[in-house]
Amino acid sequence: MILIKGKTLFIKLLTIAKNTFIETIRQPIYAVIIVFALILMLLAPSISMYTLDEDVKLLRELGLSTLFLAGLFIAVFAATSTITEEIESGTITTVLSKPISRSVFVVGKFFGVAGAVTMAHALLTMSFLMATRHGVLETASDEIDWTVITAAALAFGGAFLLTALINYIYDWNFSSTAIVLSTIFCTFAIIFLLLVDKHWKFNPSENQFETFDLVASVLLLMAIILLVALATLFSTRFNEVLTLTFCVGFFLLGLISDWAFGRFAVKNLGDVSSGLWDKAGILLAKAGVILIPNLQIFWVSDAIYEKGSVPADYLIMAAVYTVLYTVGILALAIAFFQKRQVG
């Protein structure tokens, strides 16, 4: 009996997540953000070449920043459109009138949006890897990596042409189909580039990809999942404008968490002999460390300039931090949504 109930609950959760995923990738804003981010990835090598030094490192920082910001805005707009709009339009009453609990609804929405954000992040990460593989033409004697350009052109061009054909025959949504096919084709392009060097020779040892870039992207994905959970939380109680405002606020505070809260939170109240305001500031800092996710642990741009690497145990700790914080945020979202009037 317990297994049957568990299976039924899983099917409901999977159905909501699937519908949310499809609804999210069909949104025009989803495609607009991805296209804009892809354009920035395309322009990044050209922008980086005008620096006096550290061209490749600036290219990496521009690419990672684009990944982070694109994930933030996709998470916010996707969560608000799939939750807030359903509440304000009243369509959510149709869903909740069925044997679906509010907790399943919230968690299903989170997984659906997280899946869409993950696919967008994967596509942009592969574009970022292609950009770093090509590198910056620092001097006139530097060779253009035609292998990367050809692979990227075939991936995106083939996806566009096949999407146009499918849209003409089956009338599928153009933007969502193009993004899905681009992700698939870019995966094959990356596999090809892993095996073939810039001289069109089979030479996996000289593919010029850096493990650091992939690790940095994985860390950013963890941060974006946290932002999806926050967007889900705020969408259960606020409208689009307030959700965007709160998410951007938490994003900015999370990036300066160590400076804004951490340096004060390490102090003990017993060590402070001054006034009440100083003790209140320490308590506020300790609360900020707990309540606001520290996004600095996912941003490893300093390692780019210091030529460092990210240890495996750091990745594990970041993953544990992400899971625990996400579960806590979703539990709070469920609690807030239980008392929300949706009729």
C-alpha 53: how far from chain center: 30
Give the integer Cα–Cα distance in Å for 178 and 23: 15
pTM for this predicted structure: 0.91
| Portion of the chain with pLDDT greater than 70, in percent | 87
Distances (CA, A) of 153 to 23, 81, 164, 340: 28, 32, 16, 48
Q: What is the DSSP letter of 238?
A: S
Tell me the pLDDT tens digit for each residue of 13-23: 999 999 999 99
Inform me whether the pLDDT recorded for 276 exceeds 70: no
Give the pLDDT band of residue 40 (cuts 50, 70, 90). very high
Question: 95 CB contacts (<8 Å, ≥6 apart)?
Answer: 16, 86, 105
Mean predicted lDDT score pLDDT of the chain: 86
At 4 the pLDDT is: 63
Q: How much of the chain exceeds pLDDT 90, in percent? A: 48
Question: What would the mean pLDDT of 274-297 be, rounded to a whole number?
Answer: 77
In which residue are the tokens 């804003």 written?
A: 29
| C-alpha–C-alpha distance, residues 199 and 341, integer Å | 63
Structure token digits, residue 204: 């996996």
Encode pLDDT of 81-105 as tens digits.
877 777 777 677 777 667 778 888 8
> Could you tell me which residues are beta bridge partners of residue 196?
202
Tell which phi-psi region holds residue 202, choosing left (phi > 0), alpha (psi between -120 and 50) or beta: beta
Q: Locate tokens 């001054």: which residue? A: 274
